[in-house]
Structure 1
Amino acid sequence: MKNFKRILKSNLILKITSLNTIVIAIRLVISLIIQRVLAVSFGEVGIAKIGQIRNLMQIITSTASLGTFNGIVKYVSEFTEKKEKLNRFFNTAFVFGFIGSFLSATIIFFRASWITQSLFGNLDFLELIKILAILPPVIAINMIFGGLINGLSDYKKYAKIELVSYLLSALLLLVFLYNYQLKGVLFSIILTPILHLFVILYIFGSTIKKHINVKNLKVEIPFAKEILGFTLMSFVSSILLNYVELDIRTTITNKISANEAGYWTAMTFISKNYMVFSSGLFTLYVIPKFARIHEGSVFKKEVIYIYKTLLPLFGLGMLLVYFFRKLVIEVVYPNFLGLEPLFKWQLIGDFIRLAALVVSHQFLAKKMVKTFIITEFLSLGLFYVLARYLVVVYGAEGVVMAHLYRYIIYFFIVILAVWNYFKRQKNNLGYE
């Protein structure tokens, strides 16, 4: 026991993971209860519609902030003590957020009918989509403050914010579900960013005042160029990804059935619940750590260290999910008979995805814009083409098969890309 405590104190990854585990375990239990309530209340078709609105929210999250989040994480981790430089950077980040929010809100409001028709096949939820137009400024501020939290690696406050925000949003969802059914659920999802902002200000407000002192909102060209790189990367990784998921869900609905679309959406919800264990680690630890590494040998050592610490834990967790998959379906998604065959493909794909994501975060840490965009395009292109082909043959199972095949190829691509990066760095240093 003493040895474990000593290891825990000396291992930042385990510190973050252990605290995250407590928070996410609570989130997981609540999420499973909510997913069961939603599945029983609305069935496969309702779950598919909820998946549509969640994908739309992810797209807006990226466009509203113009992808500033990862840029803020990188520069806060590198220039924590250089307050003047950070303030100038935040001035530019807030301008980007203002521009992104204005453009997002304008498009949502004036194209609400088209968006609603595209997502749901009718205009039943038009009013909800129009309400979305007021959210982009809130989302942009959330992303900027969230970038500061992660850049400082303040994992304790991060955990508090995530837990409190999730508890409040879950309560809101259940209240709106009880009173307004499916429209209420979708509306509560839309309101979640507002709750999240209040929680950030309450828990993290004093730290925000300490590090952000925005007096003159203006764009400074050097910082703007830096942020633009992250904007491009965010566009590819978030907007295109969610667009692809929206399109695939619509394809499943049109070519097979809405029930099959619901099975795949349910599987992605389960996946996101356990993959969220890693999301905080990437921004709190991996990006800040990689940003300070400049030698290939040190990078390799760090990746092996992360793998040795992280992969066994995730592998064990995924095995438990697989062996208890029937219980998970019975408890969370009763009567979702087509869900069980999806587990093996999704779980193996997610394990390989996790290994690949550790390495690919080097692209964000070092702002390797061109490499990031090329590898993401290849990844998304593979998934889109394979999923559209395999879904016709295997139904929803074909989509998760495509998920696995995509990440096997992607893993080798990112390894090769990072190896080439450090090889070029070594050659450049040798030349100088």
Structure 2
Amino acid sequence: MKLPGFIKNNIVLKITSLNAVVIFIRLIVSVFIQRLLAVTVGEAGIANIGQIRNILAMLSSTSTLGTFSGVVKYVSEFKDNRPELTKVFSSATAFLIIGSVISSLVLFIGADYFTGYVFDSTEYSYVFKLLAIIVPFIAFSRIISGVVSGLSDYKKYAKIELISYLLASLVLVIGLYSYNLDGVIIAIAIAPIIQLVTLILIFGKTLNRYVKFKNFKLNLGYRNSLLAFTLMSFVSAFLINFIELEIRTIVTEDININEAGYWTAINFISKNYMVFATGLFTLYVLPRFASINNRTDFNKEVINIYKTILPIFFAGMVLVYLLRNYIIELIYPNFLGMEPLFKWQLLGDFIRLCALVLAYQFLAKKLVKSFVITELISLVLFYVLTKIFIDTYGTEGVVIAHFVRYIIYLIVVIIFVQIYYKRQSKIDAL
């Protein structure tokens, strides 16, 4: 099927439409998988699956020392300079080796401790030992994905994402029917191997053209440049997933594991509709803010974005709320404890959208300190407020904390953006 002319001639619309197709297919498959898991392993199984997914997300940061965003940036910058590109890849590989060795050793040696801490049981010790072996695959997959993104090879990226996701889903279903929850956890753990193989098969020749492996030597020439991204990744990838893991553990211990399953399920729904917003921010908001250098134009653009996207997302969220019981029945049959969580989760996500539009200014202008401070405030608020509210409101207290956290986060982000433009005004006046 050919794309309409107005899409074909617009690179942003082409990328958006291609990503939308991939996201839609993934969403359909994901709904099927989640329903299958909900019916088969129940609330407790969903909670345990949420824990292992958070651990994998944390490992994607520690195994590469958080260099993914740096790889994307410098590959994009040097894609026409092959020798420099090889140096970037070489430095990232050195970070990868250090991160992988440390992560693998910590996981393997501490397997019994981690399984007791995360699952309150010793039966999953083998999972952490398996992950210790798989860590290098996670790392290489992450770095090569960064090269794909940096080269803006969106067609290959979409193909890799879709094929690896479908194959991983197939392995998950086979694992579920063969070994129940243990099979699912193993399937999730080996998903990075599937992604790496898919990456090499689809992108291997292209990677070889850009990175001269014949002259490849490990070096740390870009260590200082990449270390800034290590800090940002530690906050945005590692700590966020660690806090989620901690909160799921708190709900399990203070209430029960079924309630932890309800919160994991509402998080899954939230992350699926927030994917569309993230794509829009990456494709439009980030580059647009990067080109704006004064407060007046920034304010106009923010108002324009709010007027354009907020009504659409508000309408979508209202629809999700009105159809919440049907959504529960479709994806998570008998997870009736989810129903009270929708209101606060949706309200929190809407405020989060408002805040993220402004927070992308930190990324656009490479304001590392502002990004780190505001993210840390957000995470600390979420954890502390959850501890406070859960005693009074139960699991609903977690999503109330989510809502209150983002109201405060929005105010903090506004203050930091205002401080940035005040400083810029003083610099311009000199």
Q: Report how far residue 5 of structure 1 moved.
A: 4.7
Show CA shifts across 1:250-279 (max 9, x none).
Answer: 111111111111111111111122222234
Match of 2:130 in 1: 131
1:414 aligns to 2:416 (yes or no): no
1:61 and 1:140 in contact (8 A); partners too: yes
Show CA shifts across 1:138-167 (max 9, x none).
Answer: 112222222222233333322222211111
Give me the whole-angstrom Cα distance separating, in 2, the residues matched to 1:342 and 1:406: 16
Amino acid across the alignment from 2:90: N
Show CA shifts across 1:91-136 (max 9, x none).
Answer: 2111111111111111111111111111111111111110000122
Q: Report how far residue 400 of structure 1 moved.
A: 0.7
Match of 2:399 in 1: 400
2:75 and 2:88 in contact (8 A); partners too: no
Amino acid across the alignment from 1:270: I
Secondary structure of the corresponding residue to residue 417 of structure 2: helix
Show CA shifts across 1:355-392 (max 9, x none).
Answer: 32233233334432221221111000111111111111
Cα 1:360/1:240, change in 2 over 3 Å? same
Match of 1:207 in 2: 206
Q: Report how far residue 180 of structure 1 moved.
A: 0.7
Q: Report how far residue 295 of structure 1 moved.
A: 4.7
Cα 1:211/1:359, change in 2 over 3 Å? farther
Give me the whole-angstrom Cα distance separating, in 2, the residues matched to 1:293 and 1:76: 23
Match of 2:317 in 1: 318
Q: Report how far residue 50 of structure 1 moved.
A: 0.7
Match of 1:190 in 2: 189
Match of 1:111 in 2: 110
Cα 1:362/1:68, change in 2 over 3 Å? farther
Aligned-pair identity in percent equals 54
Match of 2:232 in 1: 233
Secondary structure of the corresponding residue to residue 65 of structure 1: coil
Cα 1:304/1:143, change in 2 over 3 Å? farther
Match of 1:350 in 2: 349
Bigger mean CA offset, 20-29 vs 103-112: 20-29
Cα 1:185/1:357, change in 2 over 3 Å? same
Give me the whole-angstrom Cα distance separating, in 2, the residues matched to 1:355 and 1:232: 25
1:219 aligns to 2:220 (yes or no): yes
Show CA shifts across 1:299-322 (max 9, x none).
Answer: 555545554554444333323322
Given the two structures, how large is their TM-score scaled by the length of structure 1?
0.91
Show CA shifts across 1:58-78 (max 9, x none).
Answer: 111110111111122223333
Secondary structure of the corresponding residue to residue 63 of structure 2: helix
Q: Report how far residue 351 of structure 1 moved.
A: 2.2
Q: Please report the RMSD computed on the Cα atoms of aligned residues, expressed in angstroms.
A: 2.3
Bigger mean CA offset, 193-202 vs 324-333: 193-202
Cα 1:48/1:282, change in 2 over 3 Å? same
1:346 and 1:401 in contact (8 A); partners too: yes
Amino acid across the alignment from 1:16: I
1:65 and 1:96 in contact (8 A); partners too: yes
1:379 and 1:407 in contact (8 A); partners too: yes
Bigger mean CA offset, 107-116 vs 295-304: 295-304
Give me the whole-angstrom Cα distance separating, in 2, the residues matched to 1:263 and 1:383: 18
Cα 1:72/1:418, change in 2 over 3 Å? farther
Amino acid across the alignment from 1:353: R
Give me the whole-angstrom Cα distance separating, in 2, the residues matched to 1:275 and 1:84: 38
Matched length: 426
Give me the whole-angstrom Cα distance separating, in 1, the residues matched to 2:337 and 2:250: 17
Given the two structures, how large is their TM-score scaled by the length of structure 2?
0.92
1:71 aligns to 2:63 (yes or no): no
Match of 1:144 in 2: 143
Give me the whole-angstrom Cα distance separating, in 1, the residues matched to 2:400 and 2:89: 42
Give me the whole-angstrom Cα distance separating, in 2, the residues matched to 1:289 and 1:199: 33
Q: Report how far residue 284 of structure 1 moved.
A: 5.3
1:82-97 superposed matches below 5 A: 82-97=81-96
1:80 and 1:152 in contact (8 A); partners too: yes
Match of 1:37 in 2: 36
Cα 1:87/1:412, change in 2 over 3 Å? farther
